[in-house]
Each structure stands twice: as structure tokens, then as C-alpha cells.
Amino acid sequence: MNPNQYQPVKAPRGTRITCKGWHQEAAMRMLMNNLDEEVAEDPRRLIVYGGTGRAARNWECYHAIVRALKTLENDETLLVQSGKPVAVFRTWPYAPRVLIANSNLVPHWATKPCFDELEAAGLIMYGQMTAGSWIYIGTQGILQGTHETFVAAGRKHFGTPDLAGRLVVSGGLGGMSGAQPLAATMAGATYLGAEVDPARVARRLASKKPRYLDESIPDLDKAIDRALDAKNHKQAASIAWCGNIVDLLSRLVGRNVVPDLLTDQTSAHDELNGYVPSGMSFQQAVELRGRDPAAYKQASYRTMAEHVRLMLKLQSMGAVTFDYGNNLRGKAVEGGFLPESEIRTPGPSIANRQSPIATWRYPGFVPAYIRPLFCQGKGPFRWVALSGDPKDIAETDRIVCDLFPDNTALVNWLRRAAAEIPFQGLPSRICWLGYGERDRAGLAFNKAVREGRISAPIVIGRDHLDTGSVASPNRETEAMLDGSDAIADWPLLNAMLNVASGASWVSIHHGGGVGIGYSIHAGQVIVCDGTPEMDERLRRVLLNDPGTGIARHADAGYDDAKLVARTQGVKLPMLEERSR
Ligand SMILES: NC(=O)c1ccc[n+]([C@@H]2O[C@H](COP(=O)([O-])OP(=O)(O)OC[C@H]3O[C@@H](n4cnc5c(N)ncnc54)[C@H](O)[C@@H]3O)[C@@H](O)[C@H]2O)c1
């Protein structure tokens, strides 16, 4: 990749399009938006977030994708293979304009060393979830989800969503992890976190509206003292210490300081290009990574093992501890420095895996807090104003508040987000909506575009971390009731159904969130261009997409999902037969 080819990227704004239709224009603007310097973590290297999650394989491929989209007809479909445009075929006007497959490997070869070799040869790229599928919206995307998770943990463990007087401790201040301090203080908590890269600390500290981070204290003990003082005064404050998370955790253990909530969001899914070993400065780590990758990986795995042991120690001292979706537990075992027996309790084997009862000694955030929402088809729904005009998002906020006035948490979130969260790149919004809600929002947005209340089309998408779109045994499908954690038919069915239902672009990825070998997941994006045709497509896609989540969870035996299926008319053949 030649960094000299770098030119800052910004998506066009306004209503004049340079592609042959709004669907192609939307894909192009969203690809460009993912690489906007306000949005991406490292745009020069096409890295959007999550370690090395890229929007295109290299700059040559990026420019070729843009050229292909500009000439793509309204009955053609562009195929993108791991960030490279590989073919254009004639399909149908209502078929997706782009189909994307990122990072997929045949299971026997779906290993990180194999992936690294293929990536070095320029044959594949890591797409994370919304990086390679062009629907990342910056830190706002994770802010609400993280806030929801902390609040849900508060409700479950302390009987209140108000975390005032509680200490939350975690690691990482990157693309996603950088949302943790603000998500915690929004819930009233005191936050103490470690981040090893001084530039990431500086970036979060520099953001004033909103304040992603309040303070950075160079001395470790003073940082801990400051956090304890804030906790004792029930002060919603966020404090960072620039250094390795294991050093922070071992000092907490040494001083007998027990966090109320303990988690981690360093890039542990990637032992080479994400996670940073202890015992060296960030600069030294970067130097070792380039000079001796094998030694780096060993050091990384060794640190992960220590990291997990410290989390277990703090858990035994009373900290509510959960995994926050970076596969730290799995990677620590994979590295060979942490015997599986230390982090998993033994259980009966189902299809060569552990018991479906949560066997990790500390649980993942999905089985702990999020699965009940997935059972209702709820997940992170997001949309972007292609006009670039913030007034268009203000109008969508009004529409959603009018549609769901009784959902006070949702209405409060939208008001707060509008007042406190500046947009990164194209104006966007996220909120969690469920089955039977997303289609109503989509149709209302499309009507508003048609009537000119919104000045240009809106794109609607979602995270791949959603109710029906992912198989990820150490995260979204951890500890499924029927032991079906590792079955990846579901995301493939989800993607195919989204194609059949009329999404604007659809993607299938491997390895998002938790790293190569650990997940398969799918994404869909659909454009509200105001036309009656899009009414039909929105109605189908935005019902069917979360509908696969209802089907997946009902099939696994979750009563909540069966109830939603029965009351909302999701047709599940064998469930219907059994209930007759
Ligand atoms: N729970 C979720 O919903 C969710 C969503 C997206 C991503 N993720 C996962 O969360 C992780 C973080 O994502 P991101 O976008 O913030 O990644 P990122 O790479 O942008 O940021 C991670 C940060 O961790 C820091 N770090 C790495 N090792 C460290 C260590 N030992 N001590 C202190 N700091 C360290 C890095 O310097 C970096 O700034 C990834 O593994 C990602 O896959 C989880």
C-alpha cells in the first residue's frame, strides 16, 4: 500500500448525484464517509475502526470501487471481494447494487496466521463489521450500545440504572472503546481506564463536545486516587491513565481497590496489530511489531493471559466482570499461556463444545445483558442523511419520537444525542429498535423524503452485531440455550433473505469483533429515496432482517422470541405445528 497516494476523503453532500442512481450514490458516499478523517481511526491506511478493520483493500481498489459505482447501471450489481471490486453483472433494478464478501476463509484455513499470510500477499483484507460494509458512523454508533450495556448491568446487579457512586474500569480508547468513558459518565458513574497509545488519549481528551474523556493523569496511583475521590463524591467523571491495562489492574489488586463494573475493550481480537503487550512502551511495541512479529505475538498472548487472570482476581474480590466483545478470553486461551480450565468451568459436551450454560468464568455482555433484546428482534438500528444537512437528522429524530412516544428511554436518548453528540462525517443517528418498529421508521423516513421534509435520501443500516445476523460463539451467540453457538447457517440465511427482500447492499463477513476464526456475520443497508418502490422494499427488508433474529432465538428455545413470533405473526413452521 503506497501511503503517498493518500488524499483526504470526504463524501459529497447535497442533492446532485454523480452516479446513475441514488443506491450507487449512497454506497459511494458511505464508502467515502467511512474514510472521512472525522470518522476513521487511521484513514491513511484505510483503517476505519477495530484494529485493522478496513473500508477497501488498498487505495488502488478504493479508486476502482468509486469508478465502478459511478458507471454502475440501475440494473447492475457490483461484486466486492475483500475490499476489491472484482466484477459487475446485470441483475434487476430491485436487486442490491453491491454485494460484499470480506475476510471469508474455508473453515479449515480460517486461522489468523493463514489470514495474515494472505493479507500480506494482497489477496484479502479484514473488514471488521461496519468498516468493510460501509455503514460505520463513528463513535456515536457504539456510544448508545455501551451506555445501554452499562445501564443494564446496573439494573441487574445494583437494582438501578443510575451508576452514581460506582466505579467502572476498562481498557482502550480507540474507535469503539473510546465511547466507554462517556457511556459510563452518561449513566452517572466514575470511569477509570487505561490506554497505551498517547495519541488515542490525546484524541479523546481533545473532544470537547461531547467530552469523551474528562482527565488524563500521568501518575498511576494519582489516577486511581482521583477515581476513588470522584466515586466517593458520586461524581460522573472519566479518568484515563496512559499505559498498559494489566499494569492498572495489577495496581488495583495490589491496593485492594475493587471496581463495581470491570470489563475490557482493547483490540484483543488481533494479537499482532491490535493488542499491545506489557513491559514495553507503546513506541517499543510498534518497533517490535515491525521487527519481529512472532516475538510480538508471544508477548501479546502472554499479556492477555495475565490480563484475564487479573480480571478473574478482581471478580473474586467482588467486581462485576464481563467480556465486552473483543474475545480477550478466547485469545488468551488460544495463545497457550492460559489453560482453558482457568477461564472455563467444565460442562457436558454438546457437538464438541462446552455446555450451553455459560461456562466462561466471567460472562460475555450478550448472554449477560443483551440477549433478551435480541429475542425481541431489537438491535442497533442506524441511519445517515446523504444530504449532509443536520436538519434532515433533526427531522428523523422528530419522526422517531412521534412514532414511539411511550418509549421514554428512546425519546430521552434521541433528545440527549441531538443536544450533546456532534456528528462525525455525514450526519447520522443510532437507536435500538425491534421487530415491527424498524419498518415503521423506515417507511416514515421514505415518506418524509417523498414529501420534501427531508432534503435527500436517507440510508438505513445496522451493525452486524444484531439479532439475527451473526454467529459468534464468544460474543453474540455465546451460551445459546440449545448449544447452537457455533452454527453459522443463520447469518448466511439472513444475508440471502436481505438480498431477496430488496436491500441496497448486502455483505457477508468473517471474524468481525472477535477476530479471524471466531465469527461469521452479515450486514444490510437500504436507501430511502422517497419512491413507492422503496416503500415496498423497506417494508420487506426492515421486517425480514430482524425477523431472522426472532426465528433464530425461537429455534434455540427462547420463550420471549416464541412469544414475539406468535403475537407479531412471524411464521415459524415447526413452532406453529408444535403449538397446534
Ligand atoms: N462490544 C461491542 O459491541 C464491540 C463493537 C465493536 C468492536 N468491538 C471490539 O472491541 C475492541 C476495540 O475496538 P476499537 O474499535 O476500540 O479498536 P481500536 O483498535 O480502535 O482501539 C483499541 C485500543 O486499545 C488499545 N490497547 C491495545 N492493547 C492495550 C493494552 N494492553 N492496554 C491498554 N490499551 C491497549 C489500543 O492502543 C487502541 O487504542 C476490538 O476487539 C473490537 O473488535 C466490540
Per-residue tens of pLDDT for the chain, all 580 residues:
554 579 999 999 999 999 999 999 999 999 999 999 999 999 999 999 999 999 999 999 999 999 999 999 999 999 999 999 999 999 999 999 999 999 999 999 999 999 999 999 999 999 999 999 999 999 888 898 899 899 999 999 999 989 999 999 999 999 889 999 999 999 999 999 999 999 999 999 998 878 899 999 999 999 999 999 999 999 999 999 999 999 999 999 999 999 999 999 999 999 999 999 999 999 999 999 999 999 999 999 999 999 999 999 999 999 999 999 999 999 999 999 999 999 988 765 544 454 444 489 999 999 999 999 999 999 999 999 999 999 999 999 999 999 999 998 899 889 989 998 889 999 999 999 999 999 999 999 999 999 999 999 999 999 999 999 999 999 999 999 999 999 999 999 999 999 999 999 999 999 999 999 999 999 999 999 999 999 999 999 999 999 999 999 999 999 999 999 999 999 999 987 666 5
Of all protein residues, the one whose alpha carbon is nearest to atom 19 of ligand 1 is 51
286 contact partners, CB below 8 Å, separation of at least 6 = none
Question: Which residues' Cβ are closer than 6 Å to ligand 1?
Answer: 41, 49-51, 142, 145, 171-177, 194-197, 200, 244-245, 265-269, 274-276, 324-326, 465, 513
Neighbours of 391 (CB within 10 A): 12
- Best substitution site from 266, 278, 369, 516 to test ligand 1's pocket, by max atoms within 8 Å of Cβ? 266
- The atom number, within ligand 1, closest to the CA of 277 reads 31
Q: How far is CA 350 from CA 195, 373, 479, 488, in A?
A: 38, 25, 11, 16
Question: How far, in Å, CA of 93 to CA of 51, rounded?
Answer: 36
399 CA distance to ligand 1 centroid (A)? 34
User: To which H or E segment does residue 80 belong?
Assistant: strand 76-81
User: To which H or E segment does residue 156 belong?
Assistant: helix 140-158
Do the Cβ atoms of 30 and 134 come closer than 8 Å? yes
Question: How far, in Å, CA of 456 to CA of 477, rounded?
Answer: 37
Query: Using CB atoms within 10 A of its CB, is residue 353 exposed (0-12), middle (13-18) or buried (19+)?
Result: middle
Neighbours of 452 (CB within 10 A): 8
- The atom number, within ligand 1, closest to the CA of 267 reads 41
115 CA distance to ligand 1 centroid (A)? 20
180 CA distance to ligand 1 centroid (A)? 11
CA 509 to chain centre: 13
Q: What cell was used for 457?
A: 435520501
444 contact partners, CB below 8 Å, separation of at least 6 = 399, 400, 403
Question: How far, in Å, CA of 568 to CA of 555, rounded?
Answer: 16
Question: How far, in Å, CA of 30 to CA of 11, rounded?
Answer: 7
CA 84 to chain centre: 22
3-state helix, strand, coil in the chain (%, to 5): 45, 15, 40
Q: How many residues does the structure list for the chain?
A: 580
DSSP line for 272-294: TTT---SSS-HHHHHHHHHH-HH
Q: What angle do CA 89, 510, 496 make, to 5 degrees?
A: 45
538 CA distance to ligand 1 centroid (A)? 33
SS3 1: coil
210 DSSP 8-state letter: T
